[in-house]
Amino acid sequence: MFAKRMRDFQRRLGEADIDVALITDDDNVYYLTGYYDYLHMEFGRPTILVVPSHGETLLITPSIDLNTALAAAQVGRVAAWNDGAGDEWRAELPQAVAGARRVAVEPDHMPPLVRGYVDGLLGANRLTSATLILATMRMIKSPEELQMARHAGEVAMAMMQAGRETIADGIPEFEVALATNQAGTRKASALLKAHYSDSYMSPNMHFLQIMASGEDIIKTHHRASNRIMKHGEPVFLC
């Protein structure tokens, strides 16, 4: 699935007369390579996917996630970088874009730290956007993506059902939150075992849903609390 997407993306780059694309958005990195759950800009550590229209793809990622990248990322080569060692994540980029006439980036998703370096390396006249190409690809969902969406719906239904069944007189709100998370985790685990080969993907739910009861239902984004629900009170669960 990921290799097919990458080939399609490279073909589209060539048709758009783009020599290299630098992809930094987490979702698009996963969409093209299958690589996820790595340190990124919230920790000040860039991950950059280098995709030439022809040739070997390159993933630049922090060395702390090297083993995960080697196991998950469907790319030609992985280059790990470490804090304070050499030019860090910048080391591979000059060679990766050498000779490229047009380089595509994601203008709204490239971290300012990376964008500043890329602008200095290439100059604005050599840059273009990869956003429309990726958005066009992702607009049409594959059978695999549709299956994931349906399975996500099954998980959501299991969570809501468990939440409804837990609501009762004398029960604290947080018990409803625990029930929904446990039900979602168990349903996700069953689906992963039955339909997916990625053993790295976690079934654990960490979504804290909106919930309120009694006088608190007027609070738009109230979370489950220690409040004890009482018979006859309204309850809102989202």
Residue 210: which CATH number?
3.90.230.10
Residues 112 and 190 in one domain: no
Distance separating alpha carbons of residues 75 and 180, to the nearest angstrom? 37
Residues 167 and 131 in one domain: no
Confidence of residue 53 (pLDDT cuts 50, 70, 90): very high
Boundary of a domain, candidates 139, 168, 191? 139
Rounded average pLDDT over 201-230: 92
Rounded average pLDDT over 181-201: 93
Q: What is the pTM of this model?
A: 0.86
Chain mean pLDDT for the chain: 94
Tokens 């809501």, located at residue: 160
Residues 23 and 106 in one domain: yes
Q: How many domains does the chain have?
A: 2
The pLDDT value recorded for residue 208 is 80
Residues 152 and 225 in one domain: yes
Residues 120 and 203 in one domain: no
107-116, 163-172, 177-186, 203-212: least confident range: 203-212
Distance separating alpha carbons of residues 36 and 68, to the nearest angstrom? 9
Residues 54 and 129 in one domain: yes
Residues 32 and 124 in one domain: yes
Residues 151 and 103 in one domain: no
Q: Give the tens place of pLDDT for each residue, 67-110.
A: 999 999 999 999 999 988 889 999 999 999 999 999 999 999 99
CATH of the domain at 7: 3.40.350.10
Query: CA-CA distances (angstroms) from residue 217 to 59, 116, 171, 173, 225?
Result: 47, 46, 16, 12, 12
Q: Tell me the Ramachandran region of residue 73: left when phi exceeds 0, alpha when psi lies from -120 to 50, beta otherwise.
A: beta
Distance separating alpha carbons of residues 120 and 88, to the nearest angstrom? 16
The pLDDT value recorded for residue 44 is 82
Boundary of a domain, candidates 139, 166, 191? 139
- 209: pLDDT strictly greater than 90: no
Residues 89 and 161 in one domain: no
Residues 36 and 50 in one domain: yes
Residues 134 and 16 in one domain: yes
32-41, 131-140, 148-157, 166-175: least confident range: 32-41
Give the residue numbers spanning the domain of 191: 143-237
Q: Give the tens place of pLDDT for each residue, 122-164.
A: 988 999 999 999 999 999 999 999 999 999 999 999 999 999 9
Say what percent of the chain tops pLDDT 90.
87
Residues 128 and 81 in one domain: yes
- 199: pLDDT strictly greater than 90: no
The pLDDT value recorded for residue 110 is 95
